[in-house]
Amino acid sequence: MYRTHNCEKLRINNIGEDVILSGWVQKIRNLGGMTFIDLRDRYGITQLVFDMNTNSDLCLKARKLGREYVIKINGKVVERSNKNMDMPTGEIEINISDIDILSKSSVPPFTIENNTDGGEELRMKYRYLDLRRQTVKNSIILRHKMAQEVRSYLNLNDFLEIETPVLIKSTPEGARDFVVPSRMNAGKFYALPQSPQLFKQLLMIGGFDKYYQIVKCFRDEDFRSDRQPEFTQIDCEMSFVEQDDVINMFEGLTKHLFDKILNIKFKEKFPHISYQDAVNLYGSDRPDIRFDMKINNITEIAKGNNFKVFDDSEYIGGICAKGLGNYSRKQLDKLTKWVRRPQIGAKGLVYVKCNNGNFKSSVNKFYSQTDLEKWAKKFDANSGDLLLILSGKKTEILFALGELRLEIANRLNLRNNNKYSPLWVVDFPLFEKDETGNLRAMHHPFTSPKTEDKQLLDTEPEKVKANAYDLVINGVEIGGGSIRIHNNEMQEKIFDLLGFSKEEAKAQFGFLMNAFKYGAPPHGGVAFGFDRWTALFNNSESIRDIIAFPKNNTGKDIMIDAPADIDKKQLNDLHLRTTVKF
């Protein structure tokens, strides 16, 4: 027997019991006559005590142990004289009678503690060691609990968990596919799924009216803190539903997770905001509404005063930074440099300081106190506030103001990680234009248009709104979905507007179009980013924190050295040649 208890289990009521524990050596403290060891396993830490006066051989053996040695001990639970009430087992310790070394350890490349001295790349190289740290372990345990609660809620609502294929056909869905060569079909390739979109629609046609899957998806795209080449979705679909049915079902899932995981109860319905309002008021289609600071459009009242920068601009807008009216010129210059960065893209910054009816501005030469007072009223500004104003092309300036809004909120500590503000963004455009001016699907080509906008498909397709919806929490897009097209006539029209020829549409999606011929129910669904959701609940900046074996920011697994070369025989078997020299 390796253990009678885990290292978190024993308490004051276990005093006098003979126990067996196994785990890793966390720390060794040699105090002369006594030696103490912290023994760690997945569950926690228990202190072991070795007395030189009672058993000197055993005490000397303990002193020769190293960090991360795996040991098994026999001993008796005794009351701890110097109690540590900050740890669950802090009232007891184990008086050791025997010790076995199960596995020795080299000196770890970093300390296996919450506050480690290892950088991210080093810890990713030795991820199996990093997983022993309690903070990382807690993240993985949280992920497990999240998955269990997702399944619990969906199972209770009659959803069926059904697996879909991993080796599929490459289809144009936005990002690049990862492809897999076929040995048995020379020159042919599978693709790894970016999502199970088509298969879940086929399941609805197959009569499985409520489907879900916690599923791996793959996208070959540039990486950020919230992206990985392989990621996990909570993928769901329902038949015989409208938009509100789907939103209500998965708002219920959201409230269930907040309740069960964070003990936060939402009684009211989540607010809804249109895509256009989100962009106009917050500069983003995933607005953080934990704080106000909405964007104000002052184009009409700011033009016409011979200030060329404004007069030549399509859009003039800004935000009110409450209480920052005391910003110095140096601070304002730094903020101007911040908005001029390439990732923000603004050409300059206009400010107005509000002080008891007096207004000091960087454009005082062109605007009177009366003009600036009108601006202040528009922003609902008070004495001591600071107006920050940008101008230029509308889409670019709204984006820049959205980023500036978040930056000012960070400086004012308005983005409280212990506060959660979910909302639904709805009424997305069905299409957007690419760099060449051609239409492309804002979500995917299987999203249905709003019934009231269908007549615009032939005349003004860019004005058509979609039956689509996103769940946003604290400025993070947790997931989204739509009501799908379920008949060939509408699907063919959308493909045509997106520039697919009939031959291309048939080659790419012929199996779906054929399935529509045999009675497709109205259906819709949603897919949530499971990694993002877990990271949000874990207060993590990066989804790498909550993935057991993540890739780094260049898509590499530096622990196993992947991606890696394959030998020439494998290439020949797969009917491949490469220009890379071995």
Q: H helices then E strands: how many in the chain?
A: 16, 22
Q: State the pLDDT at residue 147.
A: 98
pLDDT exceeds cutoff 90 at 433: no
Q: State the pLDDT at residue 209.
A: 96
Q: State the pLDDT at residue 351.
A: 97
Q: State the pLDDT at residue 507.
A: 87
Q: State the pLDDT at residue 249.
A: 98
Lowest mean pLDDT among 17-26, 102-111, 551-560: 551-560
Structure tokens at 414: 């308005």
In tens, the pLDDT along 220-247 reads: 887 776 789 999 999 999 999 999 999 9
Cα–Cα distance measured from residue 279 to residue 442, given in angstroms and rounded to the nearest whole number: 15
Q: State the pLDDT at residue 172.
A: 66
Tell me the backbone φ, ψ of residue 284, rounded to 5 degrees. Answer: -160, 150
% pLDDT > 70, the chain: 99
* Contacts of residue 65, Cβ cutoff 8 Å, sequence gap at least 6: 25, 28, 37, 71, 101
User: DSSP labels for 26-92?
Assistant: EEEEE-SSEEEEEEE-SS-EEEEEEETTT-HHHHHHHHT--TT-EEEEEEEEEE-SS--TTSTTTTE
Place of tokens 């993985």: 140
pLDDT exceeds cutoff 90 at 275: yes
Place of tokens 């970093």: 110
Task: Give Cα separations from 441 to 44, 243, 252, 429, 537 (angstroms).
Answer: 50, 18, 28, 9, 31
User: DSSP labels for 146-178?
Assistant: HHHHHHHHHHHTT-EE----SSB----SSSBPP
Residue 338, judged by CB atoms within 10 A of its CB (0-12, 13-18, 19+), counts as: middle
* Cβ atoms of residues 559 and 126 within 8 Å: yes
Q: What is the mean pLDDT of residues 540-566?
A: 92
pLDDT exceeds cutoff 60 at 80: yes
- pLDDT category of residue 382 using cuts at 50, 70 and 90: very high
Q: What is the mean pLDDT of residues 386-412?
A: 97
In tens, the pLDDT along 35-48 reads: 999 999 999 999 99
Q: What is the mean pLDDT of residues 17-38?
A: 96
3-state secondary structure of 271: coil
- pLDDT category of residue 174 using cuts at 50, 70 and 90: low
Cα–Cα distance measured from residue 136 to residue 333, given in angstroms and rounded to the nearest whole number: 40
Q: State the pLDDT at residue 508.
A: 86
* Cβ atoms of residues 27 and 113 within 8 Å: no
* Cβ atoms of residues 162 and 169 within 8 Å: no
pLDDT exceeds cutoff 60 at 582: no
Q: What is the mean pLDDT of residues 11-36?
A: 96
Q: State the pLDDT at residue 226.
A: 74
Residue 195 identity: S
Q: What is the mean pLDDT of residues 111-118?
A: 91
Residue 412 identity: L
How many residues are recorded in the chain?
582
pLDDT exceeds cutoff 90 at 321: yes
Cα–Cα distance measured from residue 60 to residue 69, given in angstroms and rounded to the nearest whole number: 15
Q: What is the mean pLDDT of residues 457-472?
A: 95
